[in-house]
Amino acid sequence: MLDLPDMVQEAYQIKQLVLETSAKDDLLYLSVFISNQQFQYAVINQTKQQVIELADIELIDKHVNDQQAIDLLALLIQNQLLNHKKFEKVNIAILSNRFTMLPESFSEANKLSDLMTFTNGNIGDEKILQHKTKYCDFCFGMKAEWLDFFGKTFPNASVRHAGALSISLLFEQFSLRDKQIYLAIHNSQIEICVKQNNALLFYNVFSYESKEDVLYYLLFSMEQLQLNPLLCSMAIAAELDTNADLIKSIKKYVKQVDFCVMDKSISIKDKSQTLPQHYYFTLLNQHLCAL
C-alpha cells in the first residue's frame, strides 16, 4: 500500500506558477478552487493587491474516495505551507453537479433536503448549503467530512459553489456584463451560464472527456434555449491558449467570442506577468462575489 507522500506523487501533478514573498505585516487572502480533478489556490497580498503565489494541482488518479482525497489535500496544504500562513480571508469555491436552483418561494430552509433529493437523487449524509442571490437561490450538497476538514483547516473560510459565483460574475464582472453566455472550461467539467434581458436563463455543469463533448454540450444547450450562435455574445474562461483547437472549433459555430479579463483590483507580477487574463478566472475573481 502506498503511503501518503507516494500517493501524492502518483495521484497529482503540481504546477507552481507564482511564488513571491510577503512582508510580515501584509494582509493575505487565500482563494481556492476545487473540482473533481483540480485543486487550485492563489495567495493574494491584499496590502499590495498582488497575487504572490498561485498553484494548479491536477488529479490524475480518479479512483480516490472522499477520505483519501481529504488526506491528500491535507498533505498538499501542509507541503505548500498554507497552514503556516495567517489569512485575513479564505474563499473556497467548489464545483460539483450536486446542486439545484430555486425561486425564492420554494427555498425555505426546512424544504431544501427534500428538494435536493427530488432534483439530485439520494443525498445521504450531505449537508445542504444555500446562497441567496439577486438572480436565484442556489443550493448544493457537500459531504460532512469535507465541511469538517475546511472548518478545521481554515476556520474563517467561506465555502461556496462555483455555480453561484459564475452566475454572479456573468452579471457583475466588467468583462462579462455585456455578454449573454459565459463558458468556463475546467479540466474535466464545463460550466455554461446564460442570461437574457438581465435575468438568469440557464446554468449547468457538464462532465466531458473530449473537445467534441464540450462542443456538443454548448451547442445543444444553445439549441434548447433557442439561441442563435451567429448572434449571441459569449466570453470564455479556461486554461487554454486562445488558438487552442477547442477554441477554434467553438468559433466555427459561435461568431461573437471573447475572453474573460481579470478584475483590475489585483495584479500578477514578475514570473507570471504574461499569464493570460482568462486563466484561473473563478480563482482570481471570486473575491468580487458577495454571496
Q: What is the mean pLDDT of residues 219-232?
A: 96
Give per-residue burial for 138-171: e unless 16+ CB within 10 Å, then b: bbbbbbeebeebbeebbeebebbbbbbbbbbbbb
DSSP percent split of the chain into helix, strand, coil, nearest 5: 35, 35, 35
Structure-model confidence comparison of residues 239 and 67, the more confident one: 239
Q: Spell out the residues 6+ positions from residue 236 whose beta carbon is closer than 8 angstroms to its own.
A: 183, 184, 185, 247, 250, 257, 258, 259, 260, 278
**Mean pLDDT over residues 46-57, rounded?**
86
Torsion of CA 32, 259, 209, 283, to 10 degrees: 0
Q: What pLDDT does residue 173 have?
A: 95
Residue 71 is predicted with a pLDDT of: 87
Separation between Cα atoms, residue 187 and residue 276, nearest integer Å: 17
Residue pair 191/162 in contact by the 8 Å Cβ criterion: yes
Which residue do the cell numbers 430555486 mark? 102
Asked if residues 94 and 160 have their Cβ atoms less than 8 Å apart, the reply is yes
pLDDT in tens, 119-133: 777 777 788 888 888
The arithmetic mean of pLDDT across residues 32-57, rounded, is: 88
- At 114 the pLDDT is 74
The 8-class DSSP code of residue 270 comes to: G
- A 10 A CB-CB count for 200 gives 18
Joined together, the cell numbers standing for residue 144 give 460532512
Domain spans of the chain? 173-262
Paired with 199 in beta bridges are 196
Three cell numbers at 17?
A: 506558477
pLDDT confidence tier of residue 4, bands split at 50, 70 and 90: very low
C-alpha cell at 1: 500500500
Say how far apart CA 81 and CA 16 lie, in whole Å.
13
Burial degree of 122 (CB within 10 A; 0-12, 13-18, 19+): exposed
Mean of the per-residue pLDDT values for the chain? 86
The string of DSSP codes covering 224-248 is HTT--TTT-EEEEEESS-TT-HHHH
Interacting residues of 131 by C-beta distance below 8 A, sequence separation 6+: 137, 138, 139, 160, 161, 164, 291
Query: Do you know the residue count of the chain?
Result: 291
Fold of 173-262: Nucleotidyltransferase; domain 5 (3.30.420)
Across 182-186, average pLDDT: 97
What 3-state class would DSSP assign to 213? helix
Q: How far is CA 280 from the centre of its chain?
A: 8
Express each pLDDT in 65-114 by its tens digit.
Answer: 888 888 888 888 888 888 888 899 999 999 998 898 877 666 565 677 77
Helix H or strand E segment including 83: none
Beta pairing class for 89-94 and 99-102? unpaired
pLDDT > 90: percent of the chain: 51
